[in-house]
Amino acid sequence: MMKNKTPIGVFLLSHLRIRFAIIKRNKWKGKKKMRKNKILGMSLALIFIIFVTIKLSPVWGNELPSSESEYINAKDFGAIGNDYIDDKNAIQAAIDYAQTSGIGKVKLTGNKEYLLNSGIILKKGVELELGNNTKLMVNGNFKAIQLENDSSIKNGIIMVIVTTYNSDVIYLDGKYKFTSWDRAKIDNVSIINASNTYTGTALSLYAKGDNHYISYVNFSNLNINGFYTGIRLKAEKPASGNSWINANRFTNITIDACISPIELSGSKTVPNETSGNQFTNLQIQLEKNSISALKVSGQDNTFQTMIWDVQNVTNKQIVHFTSDAVGNKLSFNLNETYIKDEGAYNYFSSVY
C-alpha cells in the first residue's frame, strides 16, 4: 500500500508558520524585557531625584511651613536636643526663616537641653517660645541671645555651664532703638549660672551712640541665679548726640545668689540717661559674697522690693544711690541704715 505524501508546498507553508511563531514569541519576550529595564531605570532615576531633593532641602526633607503656619518648630531645621551637638545654627536658621516668611514665631519644645556653642540673634519681629522646662545650655563665653527691636522671649531656662563665663546672657543694644510701639518683651524665663563662679550678667541693657535708646520694654516673671550682676542698665556718653535707657518695666522678678543684683549706670539726664525705670514685686536674696542689692544712678527710677538675709553681707549699706542719682524712690523691708545716699532728693519708705 502506498504511503500518503505531503505536497512540498504544504510542507513549506507549515514550516514558515512555525518559524514565524518562534520569531513572534522571541520578539514579545524582548519587548517585555525592555519594558522591565525601562521601569527599573525610571525607578532608579526617581529615587535619585528624591534623594537629591532631601539633601538640598533646608529642612532635610520636611516641607517648609507656609506663611499660614502659626509657628516654626526648630526641630524641622535640625535642632534635636539631648544629643550634645551644637544646636545654634539650626535654631538661628529657624529664626531667620520665621522673619523672612512673616510667620514670626519659633518654638523649642519638650524637656530637652539644646546646646549653644555661640550666640543667637533674635531677629526683629520674631518671638522665641520655649517649653516651660526647655533649656538652652550656654557652652562658652559669649552673648547667648541678642534681641533686635520688636522681638521677644517666652518661657524656658537659659543656663550657663562653663566656668569661664564673663559675658551677658540676654542682651539688648540701644542701636536697635526700642520704643513704645515695639512688642519687645521677656517673660517667664529663668537665667541660671550653674558654674558656681558668680560671673557674667544675666540681663544687660546697653546704649552708647547718637540716638541709641531702649525704652518701654517689659520684663516679667524672671528668675535669676548665680551671676556677678543680675540686671544691668548702662547708658554711656556717646561721642556725639544722646543715648538713654528710660521707662522700662521690670516686674515679678527674683534675683538670688548674685554679687550685685541690680545696677543702673548712667546719668540723671542726657547725654547718657537712665531714668524712669520701674522695678516692682522684686525678691532679692543676698549671699555672703554679695556686695550690694541696688546700685542706682539716674533720675525718677522706682523700686519696690523685699531684700532677704542682710545678715549674710559684710557691707551693710546694700542700697547705694550715687552722686548721679536724683529723685529715685525705694520701698523696701529695711531701714535707712542700709542706704548710702550720695545723690539728691532720693526717697525711701519702709515699715521700720
Identify any residues that bridge with 178 across adjacent strands, giving them in sequence order: 214
Burial class (CB in 10 A: 0-12, 13-18, 19+), 189: buried
> Mind listing the pLDDT tens digit for each residue in 196-245?
999 999 999 999 999 999 999 999 999 999 999 999 999 999 999 999 99
pLDDT on residue 5: 44
Contacts of 329 (CB under 8 A, 6+ apart): 300, 301, 302, 303, 346, 347, 348, 349
pTM of the model: 0.82
Q: Is the pLDDT of residue 290 over 50?
A: yes
pLDDT tens digits, one per residue of 16-35: 454 545 555 555 455 555 55
Contact 79, 91 (CB under 8 A): yes
Give the pLDDT of residue 69.
Answer: 77
